[in-house]
Structure 1
Amino acid sequence: MHPVHPNVKQLLCSMLFGLMLLYTQVCSAQDPVKPKQDSVTAQQDTTKQKFDERILDNLRRMSERKTIMGKLLDAILEFDRKEQEVYGLDVELIQREYEKHNYKIVRRLDIVTLDAFGYSINDSTRVPRNFFEKAGNAIHIKTSRGLVRNQLLFRRNEPLEPLALIESERLLRQTDYLLDARIVVNEITTTDDSVDVYVVTKDVFSMGGSGSFTPSSGRGRISLRELNFLGRGHQVRGTYRFNMNRPRPWEASGAYSIPNISRTYIGADLVYTDENYYKEKSAYLHRDFFATNTKYAGAVGYADIEEQILLPFAPGDSIARFGDLKYNRKDVWLGRAFKFKTYHLGYEPRGRLIVGLRMIDTDYSKIPTDNFQSNVLMLGSIGYSVRKYYKDRYLFGFGRTEDIPAGTLVSFTSGYEKGNVTERRYFAASTSYARYRTQTGYFYGSATWGSFIRDDRWEQGVLELESLYFTGLKEWGNWKLRHYIQGRATFGINRNPEELLAINNESGLRGFRSDLLRGSRRVTFNYEANLYTPFSLLGFRLAAVMFADVAWLSTGNKSSPFKNTPYRGYGIGFRFRNEYLSFSTIQLLLSYYPKLPPNENFDSFRILESSRPYYDFTDFRFTRPGVANFR
């Protein structure tokens, strides 16, 4: 339904909004309101109105006219949008919200699923009103109640375990095909030994796509996706690129995913990618520690991968050099969580002791250097996790309920790699911590270290530090402001020459791109300010964005990155978000880079488009044992 590229769609929305503002001012000047008895008072009240209120009032009056422009404005603009009061949303810790109902029998379970457009999860009186909402719902297949039931951690006619209600609500909100979810206990019909539970969910419009085309070169891209195939939660994605210059004129990729197979919480992923520099065929079955009280997790999978990796460059290189790497990998792991005893009946402690074992069998058939060897890597880890969640809004969404992870995670990993040439051991440790307060905001910090040891020599090691802070929400009427600050540092320890770090996009500077600029030690700082506005167009909410990024990079294993002049990026722009659509976020930013990479054709000013926020939360769930990432 949405084959238009996000950049084009965003420009059309911006131009339409600008034309309406201009037309509003012209109409206000040419068609003044006739004075009435209280004209003096009316003029005084108008001057006291805020700027956005005056614009909305002018647009509202235009929409009431029986003209083409009036009918168009009435169809695409929503003038009576109000901040909805969300049940149970007070930024309090979701810990004992339903503790009094623990171990009661679920006598009745009612599930209601709402279409994507026109309905409200908090206001049952809201229904689709205009053509766009009704037409969107007509071609949308609503989520089946059976799919929602499969996500719940409790069943009808069974005892209600501690945390089952709040964890189920969080799991529903984290799915890609639901905008929001509420689980409510009917306190009126509740008895001493049984409860009636009401579950209501609201869909996103799961079909989506994007595309781009450059007339001068004939190059283009088409992407399609369905996040809720036939209302069953299956996801289908596909991308095709054509008329590319080198080394082949086309690329294609596709994926099929099943998040939850028949109440087992086992997911399946099939991936096929055929690109110029990367090819993959893989299949995985996996089950994560999806909830706090999950006991078992694990995965089994196979991948066949062929890629071209960037090789070390010489000072005079103007073209990136790549080497061929081809291998297949068999991967299996199993984890078990143990909870601590408690003598508080009905209270579920959130701390878990978790152990995991993993085996990775990698067989290389083509290598670019002698630093790659076929091997079998055995890993074992033990960790302690405390997971908590808060509920709030206006973090990465435009008013939807969001779950904020907080807690503590500490883990230790040890392993042994048996290669066809050499053998070596592996050790790693990591810790992370986060807390959230309404006034002071959110703080997250983590540290990870890992390294192989061969003949008493540390090699292919990494030390990674990360922090994220965002302020509390500042509000001025319908305007809201939040600041984000992120710091990251990655230090390589005796890395191989072809293992290099970049500062492109998510790795350092958003919108920055260089194939030649690489190093072994990197430090980055990112700042962003989001100003949420009360404006809405075709369901798209508008926010103003300003950012500043700084990145240091060094090329030697022992040299400090701060000895070099940092690369910087500054930008300003807009973010459009439609909570009812699968692609959700569209960003258009104008960025400036004072320092450019050498030997590359790179513009100081660039226009960036993106479909997702730059920041994200890190959950405190225990994951599979692995080697610390160097990327």
Structure 2
Amino acid sequence: MHPTHPFIKLLPHCLLVSVLLLLAQVCHAQDPVKLKPDTTAIQQDTVKQKFDERLMDNLRRMSERKTIMGKLLDAILVFDRKDQEVYGLDAELIQREYEKHNYKIVRRLDIVTLDAFGYSINDSTRVPRNFFEKAGNTLHVKTSRGLVRNQLLFRRNQPLEPLSLVESERLLRQTDYILDARIVVNELTTTDDSVDVFVITKDVFSLGGSGSYSPSSGRGKISLRELNFLGRGHQVRGTYRFNMDRPRPWEASGAYSIESIGRTYVGADLVYTNENYYKEKSAYLQRDFFSTTTKYAGAVGYADIEEKLLLPPVPEDTIPRFGDLKYNRTDVWLGRSFKFKSYHLGYEPRGRLIVGLRMIDTDYSQIPTDNFQNNILMLASVGYSVRKYYKDRYLFGFGRTEDIPAGTLVSFTTGYEKGDVMERRYFAASTSYARYRTETGYFYGSATWGSFLRDDRWEQGVLELETLYFTPLKEWGNWKLRHYVQGRATFGINRNPEELLAINNESGLRGFRSDLLRGSRRVTLNYEANLYTPLSLLGFRLAAVAFTDIAWLSTGNKSSPFKNTPYRGYGIGVRFRNEYLSFSTIQLLISYYPKMHPNEDFDNFRILESSRPYYDFTDFRFTRPGVANFR
């Protein structure tokens, strides 16, 4: 077999997975077995015990010894571990028991922040018990109580507005540096006009990094990140690639972000990217409609961008062709939310009417074709949003509390582009809807249309449809199964020749890569099954993953993508996740693609390594007015 055969490349990964699986099998975590009275004697008979039970008993006895091996086993293995009870799951996040506290004065506010390892947000008796947990907490700077206080929508000595408690809890969970959060009213000390509130959060180990190196080619990558610098919520990220098989052998990128400047909920982002085909220097200040009760949102930013634009392929192409594109862009927008009147004291209506204005000034210094012009685009949007959230687990995490968005969003956008060469108008409309039920699962659907109008001709338009469904969680003891199905369709309307769609990775087939497969209409269907196991090693939980991806692609603006044979991808693999670390997910998939582009020499088998799930929620948050994406 040739030394570069894909199966030879696969051996190190398979060996790594095998070792991890073996270790995980050794230290699996599962609930204690509930025994019936007439089977106790049989269970105590070690001859008839299951193999893994006998193995765990032997390891437990070894860990109790005073030897070096015994101390090591006691440090890394978790015995009698069981899932924590989390209250309020499968219930609507807007909990009715808090209604009786609306408009009461917050008399006392206690905030407790917990380190990343060894503590439990639901069990106050849990403390770090071994060297690894204590050492990890020593290296970690705990989130400051002031940062947590700045995220809260209520203040001490002020009236408690409706939704403030549950919305604050959700906002804390959505940060990158907090694993979970609970906000509780002390019912023992509450009075008719005042309350005492207790806030408790548990951190993620915010310092992380990753790297890779190929001995055969010398290529590698180093990434470092700190998601909670000095416990203040600042984020620093950096990536460096070297010995690349590209025009320049190295690439670098970095970013610095501030989630909120004080109590303003205004964030800041600085980005620097220096890659072969894309360069960016940008700075932004922004404030989103982060909560359902937010009144004002907006942003101002500037970006200087250079990119090599992939040009349309011709049948005889064997390598991709690129054109140089350079421009700078100034972006400003402002939004205002209006709530409807409610005659029910203490009830906060979820619906919001939102309006937004945006100006984008783009100046090109180098263009690959004549389809680019300096322009100023003015946009105005009006929308109606209903947002609510549910709690559940084992969606994209491995047991932590996750917030599921549901609701309705409808928006209409109009605009005017004034360019150096031509002028045209813009129109767009979008709608989305999601519903969640514990008995039937989660369903999301959206439709977006947008197009420019010039001289009674629609151009650079797009119609995009999307659906996402995941099933209820099926449980067999400590084993859990969930299915995900996603469908997407993107149709270009009189697009420019250089504006084409791909089916690479997140655009269609995960792990797939082709620079020559491009088109103007695309339909994709993705399926995934996640089997969550009770296996655990050093806090990393294990799930088995299987997926099937199908993508149809057409090259003409009016041709149907279903006339062509679809491209497919199949894969299986494993996903390791540690909820307490910033680099929480490690995913290894073996994928197979039966059909490739005839002019590209790529293996049908590939190894897909990633650190994030393929699916994600779409919130019903009103965002800045914009042009419908064609990507």
TM range (shorter): over 0.9
Is residue 141–residue 230 contact of structure 1 (8 Å, CA) maintained in 2?
yes
* Counterpart AA for 2:612: R
Cross-structure match for 1:321: 321
CA 1:8–1:338: 2 relative to 1, 3 Å: farther
Per-residue CA distance 1:20-66 (angstroms, 9 max, x = gap): 86999xxxxxxxxxxxxx998358786575x7655544543454455
Q: Is the 8 A contact 1:427 1:450 kept in 2?
A: yes
Q: 1:54 to 1:427 in 2, by over 3 A?
A: farther
Q: 1:413 is paired with a residue of what secondary structure?
A: strand
Deviation, structure 1 residue 94: 2.2
Indicate the residue corresponding to 1:506 in structure 2.
506
In structure 1, how many angstroms separate the alpha carbons of the residues matched to 2:478 and 2:59? 18
Does the C-alpha gap of structure 1 residues 533 and 53 become closer, same or farther in structure 2, counting only changes over 3 Å? Answer: farther
CA RMSD of aligned residues (A): 2.1
What is the one-letter code of the residue matched to 1:318? T
Write the distance in 1 (CA, Å) between the matches of 2:354 and 2:41.
Answer: 73
- The structure 1 residue matched to 2:22, chosen from 11, 18, 23, is 18
2:123 and 2:603 map into 1 onto residues whose CA distance is: 49
Alignment-derived partner of residue 563 in structure 1? 563
1:41 and 2:45 matched: no
Give the CA deviation at 1:13. 6.7
Query: What whole-Å deviation, never above 9, does each CA across 1:448-482 have from its counterpart, x for those lacking one?
Result: 00000111001000000000000001111111111
Task: Using the TM superposition, give the Cα deviation of residue 216 of structure 1 relative to its aligned residue in structure 2, in angstroms.
Answer: 2.1
Aligned to 2:3: none
Partner of 1:81: 81
Residue 606 (structure 1) shift: 1.2
Unaligned runs of 5+ residues in structure 2 are 1-10, 29-38
Give the match's secondary structure for 1:98. helix
In the alignment, structure 1 residue 173 sits paired with structure 2 residue 177: no
Corresponding residue for residue 5 of structure 2: none
Relative to structure 1, the CA distance from residue 409 to residue 514 in structure 2 (aligned partners, 3 Å threshold; closer, same or farther) is same
Does the 8 A contact of 1:329 with 1:361 survive in 2? yes
Partner of 2:31 in structure 1?
A: none
Counterpart-to-counterpart distance in 2, 1:540 and 1:626:
40
Q: Could you tell me how far 1:87 is from its partner in structure 2?
A: 2.9
Identical residues among aligned pairs (%)? 86
- Aligned twin of 1:152: 152
Query: In the TM superposition, what is the alpha-carbon distance from 1:182 to its structure 2 partner?
Result: 0.4
Q: CA 1:11–1:311 in structure 2 vs 1: closer, same or farther (change >3 Å)?
A: same
SS class of match (2:137): helix
Quick check: 1:123 aligned with 2:123? yes
- For 1:47 and 1:602, how far apart are their aligned partners in 2? 52
- Distance in 2, matches of 1:23 and 1:125, equals 23
State the one-letter code of the partner of 1:214. Answer: S
Shift of 1:74: 2.3
Question: Do 1:549 and 1:568's aligned partners in 2 also have CA atoms closer than 8 Å?
Answer: yes
Decide whether the 8 Å contact of 2:591 with 2:608 is kept in 1: yes
Whether the 8 Å contact between 2:23 and 2:537 is mirrored in structure 1 is no
Structure 1 CA distance for aligned equivalents of residues 325 and 14 of structure 2: 39
Contact 2:106 2:155 in 1 (8 A): yes
Structure 2 residue aligned with 1:232: 232
Quick check: 1:457 aligned with 2:461? no
Work out whether 1:215 is the aligned partner of 2:215.
Answer: yes
Asked if the contact 1:503–1:551 (Cα under 8 Å) also holds between the matched residues in 2, the reply is yes
Q: Count residues in correspondence.
A: 611
Residue equivalent to 2:164:
164
2:320 match: secondary structure: coil
Give yes or no for contact 2:26–2:56 (8 Å, CA) kept in 1: no
Paired residues of 1:10 and 1:588 also in contact (CA < 8 A): no
Give deviations 1:260-286, integer Å, cap 9, x for gaps. Answer: 001000000000111111010000000
Distance 2:630 2:619 in 1: 20
Q: 2:338 touches 2:353 (CA, 8 Å); kept in 1?
A: yes
Displacement after TM superposition at 1:71 (Å): 3.5
Matched position secondary structure for 1:134: helix
Retained in 2: the 8 A contact 1:288–1:298? Answer: yes
2:244 is equivalent to residue 244 of structure 1: yes
Q: In structure 2, do the counterparts of structure 1 residues 54 and 596 end up closer, same or farther at CA, with 3 Å as the change threshold?
A: farther
Runs (4+) of structure 1 exceeding 6 A deviation are 7-11, 43-46
Residues 46, 449 of structure 1: alpha-carbon distance in 2 compared, 3 angstrom cutoff:
farther
Alignment-derived partner of residue 526 in structure 1: 526
Asked if the contact 1:573–1:587 (Cα under 8 Å) also holds between the matched residues in 2, the reply is yes
SS at match of 2:595: coil
For 2:587, the aligned partner's letter is Q
In 1: Cα distance, 2:80 partner to 2:199 partner:
27
> Map of 1:33-432 to 2, 5 A cutoff?
41-42=42-43, 47=48, 49=50, 53=53, 56-65=56-65, 68-432=68-432
Q: Distance in 1 between matches of 2:151 and 2:342?
A: 27
Matched to 1:169, the amino acid is E
Residue 4 of structure 1: aligned partner: none
Check 1:8–1:256 CA distance in 2 against 1; reply closer, same or farther (3 A cut). farther
Structure 1's unaligned 5+ residue stretches are 1-6, 25-37
C-alpha contact 2:27 2:77 (8 A) present in aligned 1: no
Do 1:63 and 1:73's aligned partners in 2 also have CA atoms closer than 8 Å? Answer: yes
Q: Which residue of 2 aligns with 1:34?
A: none
> Contact conserved, 1:13 with 1:537, CA < 8 A, in 2?
no
Q: Which amino acid aligns with 2:242?
A: F
Q: Structure 1 pair 10/266, CA: closer, same or farther in 2 (3 Å)?
A: farther
Aligned to 1:547: 547
Q: Does 1:603 align with 2:607?
A: no
Q: Deviations over 1:514-561 (max 9, x none)?
A: 111110000001111111111110100011111111010011101100
Q: SS at 1:263's partner residue?
A: coil
Q: Could you tell me how far 1:19 is from its partner in structure 2?
A: 6.1
Query: Deviation at 1:627?
Result: 0.2
Question: How many Å separate the matches in 2 of 1:588 and 1:47?
Answer: 36
Please tell me whether the aligned partners of residues 10 and 576 of structure 1 are also in contact (alpha carbons under 8 angstroms).
no
1:326-359 Cα distance to aligned partner (Å, 9 max, x none): 0000000000000000100010000000000000
In structure 2, distance between residues paired with 1:628 and 1:39: 65
CA distance in 2, matches of 1:23, 1:222: 30
Q: Distance in 2 between matches of 1:584 and 1:423?
A: 48
Deviations 1:204-259 (A, max 9, x none): 00000111112222221111100000000000001111122321121111100000
